[in-house]
Every structure is written in C-alpha cells, then in structure tokens.
C-alpha cells in the first residue's frame, strides 16, 4: 500500500514536471517530421499574447535531405499551394522555396533525418488569420500540412 502511494506521488510530480515547461514557454512549439512524409501535428496554435513564436522541427527519420527533406513553412491558407508549386522550381539549393517571396510568413531550412531546425518570427498582423503550415519539399505539401492559429 505504501509503495502504491509513493508511486502515485511520483507520477503526480512527473506530470507536474512535464506541465511546467509547457506553461513557461507557450510561445515555443515543437513539431516532428518522419520518413513516412508526415508531420506529427495537424494543428498548431499560440496565444495572442505571444509577440514572437519559435517553431522547432525535428526530423525523426533516417532518410537524407535529398530524398525525404522537410521544412516548416507558414503562409496564408490562400497562398500555400502556389508557394509550394513555385518552390518546386526553386530547387533544393533554395530549400524548395521561391526567393524573397513576401507570401512566405516564416520558414525553417530544409533538414534530413536526425536533424533539427527552428525559426523565430513575430506575430504582428497574424492574429485571427487563416494560416497554414506545410513542407515545401516537392510533393510533400499534400500530406504535410496543417492549420496554424495565433490567438
Ligand atoms: Cu517534407
């Protein structure tokens, strides 16, 4: 019985320990991409109180960037397909993104299996907008996309 109570307390502390950092930095989000051409999230959001957001992309797969590269790109939902199409012709040297395209609100670089990357961007003007995040590697955006909300 004593052992059960000890275990109960331990799990409460573990739960609290995991919850605390999330509350401490609600403006920092983490997303994973894998070798099956998938993100682990379909929705991401931050509270409107975040002036800046940091998104970290962890590629949990093993495949090289040339075969299964992933990035994280943010755009208005109305723009993301056109950006992905333009990105294909931009090529791998430009992380499959059109250069100096104002429609790209934020993006990470392209990474391969086992690598991580992150981007920090300001949320000015993004609150309440219909935003989409996606991967611009050719052919990926159909599966690798989701909604992003500020506020
Ligand atoms: Cu991808």
Which pLDDT does position 12 carry in this prediction? 41
Residue 133: its H or E element: strand 131-134
CA of 61 to the centre of ligand 1 (A): 11
CA of 66 to the centre of ligand 1 (A): 10
CA distance 76 to 102: 11
- Tens digits of residue pLDDT in 118-137: 999 999 999 999 999 999 99
Does residue 18 lie within any of the structural domains?
no
Does residue 59 lie within any of the structural domains?
yes
CA of 1 to the centre of ligand 1 (A): 50
Domain span at 58: 23-150
When the pLDDT of each residue in the chain is averaged and rounded to a whole number, the result is 89
CA of 118 to the centre of ligand 1 (A): 15
Q: Count CB-CB contacts under 10 A for residue 59.
A: 23
- Tens digits of residue pLDDT in 55-68: 999 999 999 999 99
Does residue 66 lie within any of the structural domains?
yes
How many structural domains are present in the chain? Answer: 1
CATH code for the domain of 36: 2.60.40.420
Does residue 16 lie within any of the structural domains?
no
Q: Which residue has the higher pLDDT, 9 or 51?
A: 51
Nearest partner of 84 among 63, 98, 68, 100, judged by Cα = 98
Q: Which residue has the higher pLDDT, 146 or 8?
A: 146
CA of 137 to the centre of ligand 1 (A): 5
């Amino acid at each position: 019985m004593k052992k059960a109570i000890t275990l109960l307390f331990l799990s409460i502390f573990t739960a609290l320990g995991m919850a605390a950092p999330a509350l401490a930095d609600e403006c920092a989000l983490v997303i994973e991409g894998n070798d099956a051409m998938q993100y682990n999230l379909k929705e991401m959001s931050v509270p409107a109180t975040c002036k800046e957001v940091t998104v970290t992309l962890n590629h949990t797969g093993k495949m090289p960037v040339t075969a299964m590269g992933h990035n994280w790109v943010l755009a208005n939902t109305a723009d993301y397909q056109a950006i992905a199409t333009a990105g294909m012709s931009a090529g791998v040297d430009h992380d499959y993104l059109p250069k100096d395209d104002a429609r790209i609100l934020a993006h990470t670089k392209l990474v391969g299996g086992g690598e991580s990357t992150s981007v920090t961007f300001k949320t000015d003007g993004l609150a309440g907008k219909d935003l989409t995040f996606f991967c611009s590697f050719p052919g990926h955006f159909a599966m690798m996309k989701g909604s992003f909300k500020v506020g």
